[in-house]
Structure 1
Amino acid sequence: MSLRDYKLFGAVLAFFAIYAFVILWNTWPIQEMSVAKSGVFGDSFGALTALFSGLAFAGLLTTIWQQKEEIALTRKEIRDQHFDNILFRMLEMHNNIVTDIDLRADGSNTSLQEGYLFSTGRDCFENFHEDITAIYLEKSKEEHSLEEILNNTYEEFWNLRKKDLGHYFRNLYNIFKFIKNSDIEDKKTYSNLVRAQLSDYELSILFYNCISKYGRERFKPLIEEFHILNNLPQELLLSENHKRFYSENAFI
């Protein structure tokens, strides 16, 4: 029993003692002792018995309600822990995917630039940014609308790098989709945690992926909802006016 339970038990005993004392005070000395008289004396405790029977029932209901609340809380903790476990496994997989990306100058990977240096992991995204920049500079010379130029730019870049980035973007998309579809309350905290895993150059490639046909319909709404481009350096955009393809929510 807890200290609160002992205090409650003591209060009940004290109440009974005081009540009995008052009855005895008003009936003492007892002039006649008989079955009838003792019955009347016992009946004087009837109201008190009914009161505590009601309190006992109320206590039972309170206990049931508290247990229900504790069970609900336990279920929520289990659900949240399950969510955490899955999310962190997905993040671990994401980091493994990034680590496994490599670009070699031995001919196993092609590049727009001569003398392409060996790169691994997140360093590759700087090379990807150089690739997409070079393609954009060529495409921007054509007589097309800005939207067509960007579509053509990313299409050529994707054909060049889809073997390196296909798995990367599928996994990243599923991480944000998992957060959105979960019952977790603080989704912003978890989306910020994922965003913190992305380097500046990753964000720049993600920016252009999500305004292309490969990410426009499904991934771009998640980018805007979770403010994923908030920390994207403006100098990594091919042009600052490309921001107009997103809602302001993506950058706040």
Structure 2
Amino acid sequence: MAAVISIFVLVFFYLIGVLHFSPAEWSEFGDFMAGAAGVILTALTFLALLYTVHIQTTELGLSRNELRLTRGEMMQNREELARSAQALDQQVNAIKVQNFERTLFDSLRFLNEVVDQFEYQSPVEDRPRKGAQAFFSMYHLIAHPNFGLGALGAEDGDQIGAHQPLNQALDRLRPLLATYFRTLYNIYRFLNESPYAERVYYNRIIRSQIPDHAMAILFYNSLTERGIKFQKYIVKYNILDNIPHELLLNPHHAEIMENLPTEAAEQVEIGEG
């Protein structure tokens, strides 16, 4: 293209009489062309510079758009990852809750199986009682007037736990009650150590599995040295809130129940700490 343009320029200048073949005129023409070429090259260089700036501006705009799109995709990916992480956490928590409930309900099932194996006949009965009805017979063994628990008032709270006839009666019942109380204690310990906030809901389920007469036996057993550790769970989870007060061997024993844990139980807690 440069050669073709040069030929056309030479022909044009020759036709208008500017270009001649004498050496002097060639010298003048050369000076003219040098000056004209400098101007033209400068203009072309400036235009090329403008075109380069235009190209760079366009590429910069495209790069910005691409970065904006990339940033948008990264934001979407980040949100998607956050949603995936949240869904995964919910799934993990759901699995943990399922495992907790499975363990809890398996423990309650075992507790009921222990109760189903109960068979006890109190001295004043003519036939043994089985299952949950056996708690009725076991309670009446403790409530027998010969043991004298009814004569101990609220001020004798510490003496009730150390009362020898009560401990003798519980020793007679221990082959039946030891597994029951141990399982019930571990159920509440498992509930207490769980990280779930629905303890109130699960506590209601557990409490519904404890018959009234079993609550009365649990209360008096918790005053003894062997059952004193249960007092912290009795208080924390209000296990005895629904116990009928007529099952208390003395109406004043309600004051002892309301003031749990006893000083002896608090000393046990301090010693464990």
For normalisation by structure 2, the TM-score amounts to 0.68
Alignment length (residue pairs): 207
Q: What is the SS of the residue equivalent to 1:240?
A: coil
Residue 73 of structure 1 and its aligned partner are, at CA, apart by: 1.3
Is 2:215 aligned against 1:215? no
Residue 129 of structure 1 and its aligned partner are, at CA, apart by: 1.4
CA–CA distance in structure 1, aligned partners of residues 260 and 167 of structure 2: 26
The letter for the 1-side match of 2:181 is F
CA–CA distance in structure 1, aligned partners of residues 174 and 156 of structure 2: 25
Is 2:241 aligned against 1:230? yes
Is 2:114 aligned against 1:62? no
Q: What is the SS of the residue equivalent to 2:241?
A: helix
Is 2:197 aligned against 1:180? no
2:177 aligned residue? 165
**Does the C-alpha gap of structure 1 residues 221 and 135 become closer, same or farther in structure 2, counting only changes over 3 Å?**
farther
Give the number of the structure whose alpha-carbon radius of gyration is greater: 2
1:202-248 per-position Cα deviation (integer Å, ceiling 9, x unaligned): 111111111111211x2110011001111100100111221333346
Q: What is the SS of the residue equivalent to 2:231?
A: helix
1:10 aligned residue? none
Answer yes or no: is the 8 Å Cα contact 1:136–1:149 preserved in 2.
Answer: no
2:136 aligned residue? 126
Q: Greater share of helix residues, 1 or 2?
A: 2
Residue 131 of structure 1 and its aligned partner are, at CA, apart by: 0.8
Q: Which residue, 256, 259, 262 being the options, matches 1:245?
A: 256
Answer yes or no: is the 8 Å Cα contact 1:227–1:249 preserved in 2.
Answer: no
Q: What is the SS of the residue equivalent to 1:231?
A: coil
More displaced 10-residue stretch of structure 1: 175-184 or 49-58: 49-58
The letter for the 1-side match of 2:186 is N
2:64 aligned residue? 47
CA-atom RMSD, angstroms? Answer: 2.6
Q: What is the SS of the residue equivalent to 1:188?
A: helix
In the alignment, structure 1 segments of 5+ residues that lack a partner are 1-34, 105-110
CA–CA distance in structure 1, aligned partners of residues 255 and 248 of structure 2: 12
Residue 199 of structure 1 and its aligned partner are, at CA, apart by: 1.1
For normalisation by structure 1, the TM-score amounts to 0.73
1:89 aligned residue? 106
CA–CA distance in structure 1, aligned partners of residues 176 and 70 of structure 2: 73
**Does the C-alpha gap of structure 1 residues 52 and 149 become closer, same or farther in structure 2, counting only changes over 3 Å?**
closer
1:13-34 per-position Cα deviation (integer Å, ceiling 9, x unaligned): xxxxxxxxxxxxxxxxxxxxxx
Residue 77 of structure 1 and its aligned partner are, at CA, apart by: 0.7
Q: What is the SS of the residue equivalent to 1:168?
A: helix
Residue 135 of structure 1 and its aligned partner are, at CA, apart by: 5.0
In the alignment, structure 2 segments of 5+ residues that lack a partner are 1-50, 262-273
Q: What is the SS of the residue equivalent to 1:214?
A: coil
Residue 176 of structure 1 and its aligned partner are, at CA, apart by: 0.6
CA–CA distance in structure 2, aligned partners of residues 170 and 135 of structure 1: 28
**Does the C-alpha gap of structure 1 residues 47 and 187 become closer, same or farther in structure 2, counting only changes over 3 Å?**
same
Answer yes or no: is the 8 Å Cα contact 2:150–2:249 preserved in 1.
Answer: no
Answer yes or no: is the 8 Å Cα contact 1:139–1:149 preserved in 2.
Answer: yes
Q: Which residue, 79, 95, 98 being the options, matches 1:78?
A: 95
CA–CA distance in structure 2, aligned partners of residues 120 and 99 of structure 1: 7
1:62-117 per-position Cα deviation (integer Å, ceiling 9, x unaligned): 2222222222111111111000000010000000000000125xxxxxx433x432
**Does the C-alpha gap of structure 1 residues 72 and 43 become closer, same or farther in structure 2, counting only changes over 3 Å?**
same
CA–CA distance in structure 1, aligned partners of residues 102 and 173 of structure 2: 31
The letter for the 2-side match of 1:118 is P
Is 2:206 aligned against 1:194? yes
Answer yes or no: is the 8 Å Cα contact 2:150–2:250 preserved in 1.
Answer: no
**Does the C-alpha gap of structure 1 residues 136 and 168 become closer, same or farther in structure 2, counting only changes over 3 Å?**
farther
**Does the C-alpha gap of structure 1 residues 40 and 88 become closer, same or farther in structure 2, counting only changes over 3 Å?**
same
1:117 aligned residue? 127
CA–CA distance in structure 2, aligned partners of residues 146 and 52 of structure 1: 77
